[in-house]
Structure 1
Amino acid sequence: MDRSDCDVSIAPVSQATAARFTDLYFRRPFLIFIRSGSKVVTCPVRGEIEGREGDVMIFPPGVVLTMENRPLADRHYQAEGVNFSDDLIEEVFTQTPVLHRKAGIQILRAASHQPQAVLSLLKETLTTTNLPPEIRRHRLLEPLIWLKHQGVVLPLLGEDTPQARVRELIERDLSHDWRAPEVARDLGMSEATLRRWLAKSGHGFSGILLNTRLERGLGLLQTTGQPISEIALECGFKTPSHFSDAFKKRFGIPPKSIRMVEA
């Protein structure tokens, strides 16, 4: 069950079939607490890192990486993803030195750090409705303070890249029929300037739009029970078949394989 409010959200993540996802973009900071199976991440800063049951992996903002979720023989890959609001992260990590801004993926192991206990306390705070606001906020800050105490560095913002700015705009409404002229206008530039700007960063507008939609679709498949047809429309695809074809081309497996093992 998803637990969320304006400060913190926790979403269950489930995947039935092992798959390798390349060039995934994380615009905001993100924590993943692994419950079963394992996650292998290839990070430009730290190389390959494997997270196992009980571990927590910390993703900084603006990172692009390759990731593989590996289910067990008798159980799906399962985890819980946690997002904190910007103001909570800023309150704890506002003094992060510039030299640590590219910390890459970080991991705290189950045996030495017991991160699942911290997750349990966070869930308890979110489900307790009668806490005074000051106490509640302090309890929501405690997991971030704990992370910092363990040596984790978590900058609030990633680099202000062309891809980041375009994605942030598109993510406001993925079902919208986004066109380059409209995006350029919203970003305060001409379409020609936008295309040159994106080309210098190695990304085209249509590619960013498609990847943003598909990566959101992947997230919804992993964290919700929404029908694939609804996910397709919510992510801006005209038909479920268009979504399925594009998803398989991008990720190597059809959308339904995220939720069930093919016979």
Structure 2
Amino acid sequence: MSDPVLALSDITKTYNKGAPNAVDVLRGITLDVTAGEVVALVAPSGAGKSTLLHIAGLLDTPDTGTVALSGQNLTGQSDRRRTLARRADVGFIYQFHHLLPEFSALENIVLPQLSAGVSKTDAEARATALLDQVGVAHRADHRPAELSGGEQQRVAFCRALANAPKLLLADEPTGNLDPTTSDQVFGALMTLVRDTGLSALIATHNLELANRMDRIVRLDAGRLSTGPA
């Protein structure tokens, strides 16, 4: 049996450690995400879902516990090693698109590929294909300010997948959209994920969207509980 794409083991995180106002955000979190699996992370505001995603994506470090990507334990590794692993294996999507305003939709997807050493021709071809998959290829030459909220987020999805990561981490990826647009954009995201065979951990408040994923885990009071999708 192959290793999980993401394996979190006994993760703890406390803010203001040792102070009277210390907050135990994560209390012994253990979670595996297998190849091709899409897991919904459901949590109330302030429960620590963003902290958990940042630790899973090697943007933050736990106080205790281990984080492994594709069987490689990256806990305690150098910043350079963690950065290289993150660039190679992890794609991030946030509630706000964070696209570069001075570049077109296409260029926003090309740039991370160029940073990874992909040729401009190949990068543009992949960017065009991704935009086509989410239905906005006709907007490739438009800058973010010329796109609707739903279009901007679709471009952000494509940018996150530009370098073909193994794991997608998404923090309320449709939380800034109206219900109809949210449903459409989430459908585009799921199509991208399924077509590429990605593993994904997606935080959402929307139980309707959560139930369209393979499995639901709930984070509350620093602990995880599981349930069917």
* TM value normalised by structure 1: 0.28
Higher CA-based Rg: 1
* TM value normalised by structure 2: 0.31
